[in-house]
């Protein structure tokens, strides 16, 4: 089936196998286990599963996009280049929505230093409105990592090409926190206004259901692996 990084088991893989990706709760390992399979393969099923406006052409894992503020840029779990050169970035979420963390709604002062509006300057007024809401505390986000999504948008905006950002997350059935996360994702997108066209979200379960209908019979082992490891439980 190709190389796989199983969380908690440092199996051989082209994916990075540092401490973070080996953790049982690692969203990076989750993304690697789902997407490493597709590197070097026909990406049309993925394109259709994500309703991509332009077919996917190539796929990389663990890519950084500088925000223009110096230092190490935010790390996108999956970076897909489309046939027209535009980018489709995927931020993977596994256990993070279910773990309280005040930093999810916090942006460091450097993002507003000197009264600058970095997202607006990058042509993203809707993302700027959300950033300002985080700065003032007028947002209502409790489980969504809105700050990280904003950082990814800023990094992608500095890439010099067209882009879309997708939050791909793991839904825990009948969880009130999962319901809150879904609601906050909807609120986040609504707050973006005209920038909403650049942002989408999907659960891993929804992606699986779409892929099952789209991929070829030769990918049966891959489908069985995803089902047994992530869907059946």
Alpha-carbon distance 84 to 223, whole Å? 29
Among residues 75, 76, 50, 61, the alpha carbon closest in space to that of 203 is found at 50
DSSP H or E run through 129: helix 125-136
Q: What is the pLDDT of residue 45?
A: 95
Q: What is the pLDDT of residue 127?
A: 98
| Cβ atoms of residues 46 and 62 within 8 Å | no
Question: Mean pLDDT by 10-residue block, N- to C-terminus, for the chain (233 residues)?
Answer: 37 41 69 95 96 96 89 88 98 94 92 96 98 94 96 95 98 95 98 98 98 90 95 84
End-to-end CA distance of the chain: 21
Q: What is the pLDDT of residue 25?
A: 58
Among residues 97, 96, 81, 83, the alpha carbon closest in space to that of 164 is found at 81
Alpha-carbon distance 69 to 107, whole Å? 13
Alpha-carbon distance 7 to 222, whole Å? 17
3-state SS assignment for residue 23: coil
Domain residue limits, the chain: 19-231
Alpha-carbon distance 5 to 72, whole Å? 24
| Cβ atoms of residues 97 and 144 within 8 Å | yes
Q: What is the pLDDT of residue 74?
A: 84
* Per-residue pLDDT reduced to its tens digit, 77-109: 999 999 999 999 999 999 999 998 889 999 999
């Amino acid at each position: 089936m190709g190389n796989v990084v199983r969380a908690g088991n440092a199996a051989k893989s082209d994916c990075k196998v540092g401490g973070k990706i080996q953790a049982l709760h690692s969203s990076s390992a989750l993304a690697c286990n789902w997407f490493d399979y597709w590197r070097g393969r026909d990406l049309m099923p993925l394109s259709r599963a994500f309703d991509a406006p332009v077919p996917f052409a190539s796929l990389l894992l663990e890519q950084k996009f500088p925000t223009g503020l110096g230092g190490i840029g935010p790390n996108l779990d999956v970076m897909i280049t489309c046939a027209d050169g535009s980018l489709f970035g995927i931020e993977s979420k596994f256990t993070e929505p279910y773990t309280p963390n005040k930093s999810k709604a916090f942006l460091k002062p450097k993002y507003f230093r000197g009264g600058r509006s970095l997202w607006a300057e990058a042509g993203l007024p809707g993302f700027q409105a959300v950033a300002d809401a985080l700065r003032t505390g007028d947002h209502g986000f409790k489980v969504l990592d809105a700050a990280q999504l904003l950082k990814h948008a800023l990094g992608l905006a500095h890439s010099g090409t067209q882009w879309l950002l997708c939050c791909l997350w793991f839904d825990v059935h009948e969880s009130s926190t999962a319901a809150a996360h879904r609601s906050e994702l909807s609120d986040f997108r609504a707050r973006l206004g005209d920038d909403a066209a650049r942002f989408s979200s999907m659960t891993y379960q929804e992606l699986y259901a779409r892929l099952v209908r789209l991929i070829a019979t030769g990918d049966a082992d891959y489908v069985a692996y995803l089902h047994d490891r992530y869907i059946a439980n």
